[in-house]
Amino acid sequence: MGDLSADAVSEAKMAGLGVHPWTLNSIADLQSAIRWGVTGLTTDYPDRARALFIENHMEIPPPCIS
pTM (global) more than 0.75: yes
Instruction: For residue range 13-61, list pLDDT tens digits in order.
Output: 999 999 999 999 999 999 999 999 999 999 999 999 999 999 999 988 7
Question: Exposed/middle/buried for 24, CB within 10 Å: 0-12, 13-18, 19+?
Answer: buried
Pair 18, 40: CB distance under 8 Å: yes
**pLDDT given at position 1:** 78
Domain boundaries, the chain: 1-25
